[in-house]
Amino acid sequence: MPSLSKQTFVSPEDVVAEKIVVRKDSPRGVHFRRAGPREKVYFKSEEVRACVVTCGGLCPGINTVIREIVCGLNYMYGVDDILGIEGGYRGFYSKNTSQLTPKVVNDIHKRGGTFLRTSRGGHDTQKIVDNIQDRGINQVYIIGGDGTQKGAALIYQEVEKRGLQVAVAGIPKTIDNDIAVIDKSFGFDTAVEEAQRAINAAHVEVESVENGVGVVKLMGRYSGFIAMFATLASRDVDCCLIPESPFYLEGKGGLFEFVEQRLKENGHVVIVLAEGAGQEYVAQSMHTVDGRDASGNRLLLDVGLWLSQQIKDHFTKVQKMAINMKYIDPTYMIRAIPSNASDNIYCTLLAQSAVHGAMAGYTGFTVGPVNSRHAYIPISRVTETQNIVKLTDRMWARLLASTNQPSFLNSDEVMLGKVDRAIIEQINNRKITSI
């Protein structure tokens, strides 16, 4: 075995706990197999015929994952037969393939996008598994988001049903960071970093004019992680709007009042919003019908354009106040860049974990860090729910504390009442405690 040293082997008995913060008497909880090289491998190098496919939208780091799967298989396990399935799931049966070698993929991590190209729709489980069988493929590496992982679960089930000795490994890809169980998805850090540039540009623009209002739309169809982290990182954002937190425009505690107040105080205001925020309001005012993409995902309406227009109309027509609106949508620029240093390292770990898992003979798994330890997670666990920003979590509270924006919660007084009472109780019973 070319480059694996015995010291790095992970025992098949080692597990990673899903919950790391637990109460003293709480049950042991769910554990996943720890990822890493095994002393006993299932496949012999010369037997392996692997394939790699990428599906869904773009995300920084896909090429690094492809490269490291190919190099990992070849350098660590001496595998030579690796196929690239081109153009997503449909590439399996439309016979678009190429041979992947370390030489072919050597430089691809320096480029954005996916070297293998991608697509939406076209998942036909029977045709895909027929093809896996016909070509004699026995390791399938599938890089993609929630939809892709659902497709991977179906491929795994069909492979099991037919009794094929094929390892199916999923590498979760989502720029939105909405994949359940794992700590973070690859490309997320790069996206947050790149989003800073757009926020900075908006800030520079609105600072340089009178009553400047900057609106920056970021990715986040159902979850506002990018918007939340970009806001927390930037410090130039006055208000962050995400799909999980409903907001309103008019009246006391509404967005218009807040914008007016910040314009009076600072002369400018920057709003960051996730693409999935406030979709119901946009739909109401536009009277549009639900559109779907080829994979069946709901097409979102442009909340950024809508909000910019609403703010413009309110201040010019209602408040009779001239504002300078700057709307920036950096989505495609962010998706298309190569991954940064930390994502590159992370992608390498994911790819190598997937290779070790498949070579050890595991199947139907997804790889990812759980509480900072890389683990093999059953695909069904990551597809059953989606990660969203919980408004009761500490991170959202930190954001509200950092921007001092309205919480848009009508039950504010009730919640504050509860908090106040709890604080008073704590003060009455206080005592310094050694850890």
* Helices 225-234 & 394-403 angle (0-180, nearest 10): 40
If the CB atoms of residues 88 and 220 are measured against ligand ATP, the closer one turns out to be 88
3-state secondary structure of 157: helix
Chosen residue from 295, 308, 340, 352 binding ligand ATP by CB under 6 A: 295
Tell me which stretch binds ligand ATP (CB under 6 A): 38-46, 131-139, 145-153, 419-427.
Answer: 145-153
Span 45-104, contacts to ligand ATP by CB under 6 A: 55-57, 88-89
CA distances from 34 to 1, 8, 70, 88, 219 (A): 21, 12, 22, 29, 31
Pure H helices in 17-124: 62-71, 77, 102-105
Residue 243 interacts, among Mg ion, ligand ATP, none and using kind-specific CB cut-offs from 5 to 8 Å, with: none
Tell me which stretch binds ligand ATP (CB under 6 A): 10-18, 101-109, 149-157, 405-413.
Answer: 149-157
Give the pairing of strands 373-378 and 365-370. antiparallel
Annotated binding residues for substrate, written as ranges, equal 174-176, 219-221, 275, 332-335
Residue 122 interacts, among Mg ion, ligand ATP, none and using kind-specific CB cut-offs from 5 to 8 Å, with: ligand ATP
Span 144-163, contacts to Mg ion by CB under 5 A: 145-147
Site string for ligand ATP, 241-280 (x = CB under 6 A): ----------------------------------------
Residues annotated catalytic, as ranges: 176
Site string for Mg ion, 120-149 (x = CB under 5 A): -------------------------xxx--
Least gap, CB of 226 to Mg ion (angstroms): 14
Give the pairing of strands 15-17 and 31-34. antiparallel
Please name the residues in contact with 134: beta carbons below 8 A apart, sequence gap of 6 or more: none
Residue 353 interacts, among Mg ion, ligand ATP, none and using kind-specific CB cut-offs from 5 to 8 Å, with: none
How far apart CA 148 and CA 170 sit, in angstroms, is 9
If the CB atoms of residues 145 and 243 are measured against ligand ATP, the closer one turns out to be 145
How far apart CA 331 and CA 333 sit, in angstroms, is 6
If the CB atoms of residues 293 and 420 are measured against ligand ATP, the closer one turns out to be 293
Nearest alpha carbon to residue 366 among 242, 185, 226, 195:
185
- Check residue 187 for interaction with Mg ion (CB under 5 A): no
Side-chain half-sphere of 11: how many Cα atoms within 13 Å?
A: 4
Tell me which stretch binds ligand ATP (CB under 6 A): 3-11, 141-149, 367-375, 402-410.
Answer: 141-149
Annotated binding residues for Mg(2+), written as ranges, equal 146
CA distances from 266 to 57, 61, 206, 208, 263 (A): 38, 38, 11, 12, 5
Span 106-125, contacts to ligand ATP by CB under 6 A: 120-123
How far apart CA 77 and CA 50 sit, in angstroms, is 12
Is residue 18 within 8 Å of residue 30, measured between CB atoms? Answer: yes
Residues near Mg ion, by CB under 5 A: 145-147
Residues near ligand ATP, by CB under 6 A: 55-57, 88-89, 120-123, 144-148, 150-151, 154, 174, 295, 297
